[in-house]
Amino acid sequence: MRHLQDDQLLLRKGLEEEVYVGTSDADIVPLSHRIAADLSGFVTEPDSRNVEYTTPPVRSYEQMLDKLMSQRCRLRRYVKDLGGYTLVPGSTMSMVTDDEFFISNPKNPYYRFIRDNYGTDVVTASTHINLGIADPEQLIKAYRLLRAEASMYLALTANSPFRYGRPTGAHSTRWQVFPPTPAVTPFFVDHAHFRSWVAEQLAAGTMFNPRHLWLSIRPNGQGTPDVLERLELRICDRIARPQDVAAIVALMEARVWQSLEDPSIDPLAVRSEDELQQICADNERRAAEASLEAVVTDWQTGEDVSMRRWIEECWRACVPTAESHGFANHLAPLGSILSEGNFSQQWLSRVAAGAEPRDVLRDAIIELTEVDRRYDPDCPSASSRS
């Protein structure tokens, strides 16, 4: 691949981050409508307790993180000035005690549809990763591979073990309750298959609009389903630490490059559609339940394997590809996640030792505020506990 220009060695990548805003006691406050009105680049979600911001597509990892952290720290400064608020960790509303829906814009028919059909199960926080792929046929092929392995990314990022103020028994409660829509989505053989399938869903009413496709990963683009230019990984719980963001993106990018450069890497060449559907559904369920502690099925061999081992083997196999494209150094934090555990595992360990979930989140608010400040000193400091 070295015959390519340097900027062609890296895919364009952009991030969508959904986050909760609230108090230093981990209570979430409905503020997204105010944030979106006052800050450019920020948009509402259907419920006003989470807000979304995006980064423009860039090839450089350093630029990607700089743009993410610039937006994140703008938000931190705004909400602190607004009322001493902060960003609340986790990907579910951990301390909320009821299921009231705070619709951010009652005049938006899509928001009303989501409120009426899904309720607060979809009021979650996550990090969506978008990688640019110009050829729609190659994009669909990469989609098949990444979908077969999407549970890995959930296992690495799980941080939603609490709901209604207590542990739920899952590591990603977010993905456990989030409704896949439509209920079954194919592994698409090509772009034409994707276009015709989406048209069928719209005609049948199983999708409200072309973006009402909620699964672990999806083909996407400004003109979807007709015009595709990016692959969007949607399964991750919100990734708080910048170095972890880069590591997850690097793993995804390496697998996409392997799909683009090796025609033999294709789940549909190994398994039937029905087999892949079952394997992936089971793996995602197990990852939501136990993340890195899960036992999952390797789509290539059909054998059960520990999630940690599956990820580590994939990571190691990606290093040569990442080296040839110049981003192997960003994979390194995966080792720390595998050895130390994700946030759900760390938080549940503290609860098992006697801590209350609220205290765990209070400490995480301080810890992650300081993580952001180490990246960007212009981020405000954590408010001291009263």
Q: Report pTM.
A: 0.96
| Strand segments (E) across 86-194 | 86-88, 127-132, 162-163, 166-167
Of 76, 69, 27, 26, the residue nearest 51 (C-alpha): 76
Residue 13: beta bridge partners? Answer: 58, 131
Helix (H, G, I), strand (E, B) or coil at 17: strand
What CA–CA distance (Å, rounded) separates 232 from 139? 10
> Residue 1 domain-assigned?
no
pLDDT the model gives residue 382: 81
pLDDT the model gives residue 4: 44
> Residue 343 domain-assigned?
yes
Domain span at residue 160?
6-375
What CA–CA distance (Å, rounded) separates 287 from 275? 18
Per-position pLDDT tens, the chain of length 386: 333 445 579 999 999 999 999 999 999 999 999 999 999 999 999 999 999 999 999 999 999 999 999 999 999 999 999 999 999 999 999 999 999 999 999 999 999 999 999 999 999 999 999 999 999 999 999 999 999 999 999 999 999 999 999 999 999 999 999 999 999 999 999 999 999 999 999 999 999 999 999 999 999 999 999 999 999 999 999 999 999 999 999 999 999 999 999 999 999 999 999 999 999 999 999 999 999 999 999 999 999 999 999 999 999 999 999 999 999 999 999 999 999 999 999 999 999 999 999 999 999 999 999 999 999 999 998 864 43
pLDDT the model gives residue 383: 62
> Residue 385 domain-assigned?
no
> Residue 380 domain-assigned?
no
Helix (H, G, I), strand (E, B) or coil at 136: helix
> Residue 70 domain-assigned?
yes
147 touches 187 (CB < 8 A): yes
pLDDT the model gives residue 361: 98
> Residue 201 domain-assigned?
yes
Residue owning tokens 């364009």: 12
Cβ atoms within 10 Å, residue 84: 11
CATH code of 107's domain: 3.30.590.20
Taking the CA atoms of residue 220, residue 222, residue 228 and residue 233 in that order, the dihedral angle to the nearest 10 degrees is: -20
> Residue 277 domain-assigned?
yes
| Strand segments (E) across the chain | 13-22, 42-44, 50-54, 86-88, 127-132, 162-163, 166-167, 217-220, 230-233, 295-297, 304-306
Three-state secondary structure of 95-164:
CCCCCCCCECCCCCHHHHHHHHHHHHHHCCCEEEEEEECCCHHHHHHHHHHHHHCHHHHHHHHCCECEEC
pLDDT the model gives residue 6: 55
Cα-flanking dihedrals φ and ψ of residue 377, to 5°? -60, -15
pLDDT the model gives residue 8: 78
pLDDT the model gives residue 386: 34
> Residue 381 domain-assigned?
no
* DSSP assignment of 217-238: EEEE-TBTTTB--EEEE--PBP
Q: How many domains does the chain have?
A: 1
368 touches 87 (CB < 8 A): yes
Q: Which two tokens stand for residue 124?
A: 């979650």
